[in-house]
Amino acid sequence: MDEAQPETRRGVLFDAAEQELFTLISVTAKSRRTLAARLDERLPPAAVPVLAMILKCQSITQSEICEHLMTDKATLSRLVTRLEELGLVSRQVDEADRRVSNLLPTELAKERWHGWLESWRDSLRERITLWSDDDLDHLVGLLGRLNTDLREL
């Protein structure tokens, strides 16, 4: 019976970890919807990670986004078109290869994104301000490890 105890505890821990991950996914989806609405009420939430990549890179191709986000070209094309229609992204022909267009964030996208980001960071830091440095360090390590493991799924 003692041999079954560790597995039982392990099973309970796996169940708890899965539940926390499902909660995190739900919270993330809600945040994505909220951010999309804040950027423009007509923006689909699926476009948020696309815009985030464009903002991060400042100039990126659709192929690079497809590869990084692991999405298909047709879906990405529709999202980019929507971002363009809303004035959040522009295209620029690549000087080295005129068949390729680079996606760039507009000033409007930068302005709205950074306004949201500052507010989000302030709220997050307010909630975890009492956490110890060790707790924060542990969280960063675990999230990094989790992201690495999830990329391999």
| pLDDT tens per residue, range 68-88 | 998 999 999 999 999 999 999
Place 5 in a pLDDT band, splitting at 50, 70 and 90.
low
Average confidence (pLDDT) over 113-134: 93
**Is the CB of residue 62 less than 8 Å from the CB of residue 103?**
yes
pLDDT-derived band at 150, boundaries 50, 70, 90? confident
pLDDT at 6: 59
Mind listing the pLDDT tens digit for each residue in 15-36?
999 999 999 999 999 999 999 9
The tokens 């995190």 sit on which residue? 24
Per-residue confidence at 3, pLDDT binned at 50, 70, 90?
low
Mean pLDDT of the chain: 91
Looking at residue 7, what is its pLDDT? Answer: 72
Cα 23 from Cα 27, distance rounded (Å): 6
User: What is the H or E stretch that residue 102 is in?
Assistant: strand 101-105
49-54 mean pLDDT: 96
Question: Residue 130 gets which letter from DSSP?
Answer: T
How many residues can be counted in the chain? 153
Reported as a pLDDT band with limits 50, 70 and 90, residue 1 is: very low
